[in-house]
Amino acid sequence: MPNTALEDMKMSYEKVEQAKATVIGAKQTSRAIELGQISEVIVAKDADARLTGKVISLCQDKGLPVHYVDSMHRLGKACGIDVGAAVVGLKV
């Protein structure tokens, strides 16, 4: 039986790689959520909860889906940057 959590994570990395427009970082993503520019958010599980907590809470308030991936490093790579990314917002 396939591991659906693992498949969901893989799909989340692929969504980021294929997204036409993203917002990278907790502050920028929070701002874009407030402006109604984000359709869903990807959060790295290995990121500091103090960074991701506000964004996750904001997503819950706005009814936005939050997907989780294991690695900040891999999430950053999926965004095309050489450093890790704790949070990535996919633009509407």
Model confidence band, residue 1 (pLDDT cutoffs 50, 70, 90): very low
Please tell me the distance from the alpha carbon of residue 7 to that of residue 31, in angstroms, as a whole number: 29
pLDDT above 70 for 2: no
Q: What is the pLDDT of residue 10?
A: 67
Please tell me the distance from the alpha carbon of residue 86 to that of residue 26, in angstroms, as a whole number: 7
Q: What is the pLDDT of residue 89?
A: 96
Q: What is the pLDDT of residue 14?
A: 83
CATH, domain 7-91, list 3.30.1330.30, 3.40.190.10, 3.40.640.10, 1.10.3720.10: 3.30.1330.30
- In the chain, where the domains are located: 7-91
Residue 86 has phi, psi (to 5 degrees) of -80, -40
Q: What is the pLDDT of residue 4?
A: 67
Please tell me the distance from the alpha carbon of residue 90 to that of residue 22, in angstroms, as a whole number: 5
pLDDT tens readout for residues 24-68: 999 999 999 999 999 999 999 999 999 899 999 999 999 999 999
